[in-house]
Amino acid sequence: MVAYGRRMVLGLAVGAVSTFAFLGASLSVAQAQDTPTLYFSAIPDDDETRLMQRFAAVADYLEAELGVPVEYVPVKDYAGSVVAFRNDQIQLGWFGGLSGVQARLAVPGSRALAQGEEDMTFVSYFIAHKDTGLEESDSFPMAAEGMTFTFGAQTSTSGRLFPDFHIREQTGKAPDEFFSRVGFSGDHGQTLRLVSTGAYQVGALNYTVYDTAVQENAPEVATTRVIWKTPPYPDYNWAIRGDVDARFGEGFADRVQAALVGMTDPDLLASFPRKAFVPAANEDYEAILETGRTLGLLD
């Protein structure tokens, strides 16, 4: 009953035709007010409209599974998701690898709960505008030296952290030494758009964003091409604050993990997009912790 409290209260208030129905509605309101709400967010790796569409249904699913009100809270940027987690404005987050590590470091006792099946072997694509003449290769595109380049968000795992790491490892130079100009687009979709127009000649982004654009026959793919794929690394994950059991009851974090791993609806999974979620632990992201500290992105 509580899981659908907000929706049921609205229906009762509109349709009340008797004292009994009115009292029932008032009771439902009181129960809903007594039940804490679980707030969650996600890194804004796509435009806000698509994110709202993706996560409204996820909120409904979690609410039904957990028996508490659940609300999705949009944030403006990657740093905003970490700040919201630290400040207890959200208790659960769908983070990238790096932002997840940052969030868990900010709140003692926080833990990674789940990841997509694909997330332990995630890759970034380096893409180029077709006019550069660069072609796909198994080797890092050394011919891109002197061209313009854009990352995604500054704390994106797939759009900055590992692309930055591999540029340094493969070339022996920092990105701004290897490329003539380096920018940050803000998100993966914008990286694709900027490279497609030639605003930047080369960029790095989340492989699922580019593959989805290809599947949807997006106009940006006509002027871009994948030129290199990074080695695999761990990435996206659900993380939860360490104090949720005290607020929602003993074992609540485990229940959230079970709900995420038990998400089997193809439409819900496609919104991420993931084939399935599997359990995750903080230890799975040690490589990100080490790489982030090496690049000076973590304390």
Residue 101: its H or E element: helix 97-106
Examine residue 254 and state whether it is found in any structural domain, yes or no.
yes
Residues 146 and 196 grouped into a single domain: yes
DSSP 188-249: HHHHHHHHHHTSSSEEEEEHHHHHHHHHTT-GGGGSEEEEEEPPPB---EEEE-TTHHHHH-
Residues 93 and 186 grouped into a single domain: no
Per-residue pLDDT at 117: 92
Q: Is the pLDDT of residue 31 over 70?
A: no
Per-residue pLDDT at 271: 80
Q: Is the pLDDT of residue 7 over 70?
A: no
The better pLDDT of the pair 263, 120 is held by 263
Residues 51 and 129 grouped into a single domain: no
Residues 132 and 222 grouped into a single domain: yes
Per-residue pLDDT at 299: 72
Residues 74 and 136 grouped into a single domain: no
Residues 94 and 238 grouped into a single domain: yes
How many separate domains does the chain show? 2
Q: Please compute, for residue 139, the number of CA atoms within 13 A of its CA located in the half-sphere on the CB side.
A: 6
Characterize 252-264 residue by residue with b for buried, 16 or more Cβ atoms within 10 angstroms of its Cβ, and e for exposed.
bbebbbbbbbebe
Per-residue pLDDT at 273: 84
The CA distance from 257 to 240, in Å, is: 9
Per-residue pLDDT at 16: 35
Residues 54 and 197 grouped into a single domain: no
Q: What is the pTM of this model?
A: 0.76
CATH of the domain at 267: 3.40.190.10
Q: Is the pLDDT of residue 122 over 50?
A: yes
Per-residue pLDDT at 43: 87
Per-residue pLDDT at 52: 82
Percent of the chain at pLDDT exceeding 90: 78
Residues 209 and 134 grouped into a single domain: yes
List the single range of 16-30, 56-70, 97-111, 203-217 with lowest mean pLDDT: 16-30
The better pLDDT of the pair 44, 85 is held by 85
Q: Is the pLDDT of residue 10 over 80?
A: no
The CA distance from 36 to 44, in Å, is: 25
The CA distance from 256 to 252, in Å, is: 6
Q: Please compute, for residue 224, the number of CA atoms within 13 A of its CA located in the half-sphere on the CB side.
A: 31
Residues 213 and 240 grouped into a single domain: no
Characterize 69-80 residue by residue with b for buried, 16 or more Cβ atoms within 10 angstroms of its Cβ, and e for exposed.
bbbbbebebbeb
User: Token pair of 89, please?
Assistant: 């404005």
Residues 201 and 158 grouped into a single domain: yes
Per-residue pLDDT at 8: 30
Q: Is the pLDDT of residue 175 over 90?
A: yes
46 pLDDT band (50/70/90 cuts)?
Answer: low
C-beta separation of 131 from 180 below 8 A: no
Per-residue pLDDT at 33: 56
Examine residue 173 and state whether it is found in any structural domain, yes or no.
yes
Residues 106 and 127 grouped into a single domain: no
Q: How far is C-alpha 103 from the geometric centre of its chain's CA atoms?
A: 13
Q: Is the pLDDT of residue 248 over 80?
A: yes
Residue 195 domain boundaries: 123-229
Examine residue 223 and state whether it is found in any structural domain, yes or no.
yes
Residue 286: its H or E element: helix 286-294
- Averaged pLDDT for residues 136-145: 98
Examine residue 296 and state whether it is found in any structural domain, yes or no.
no
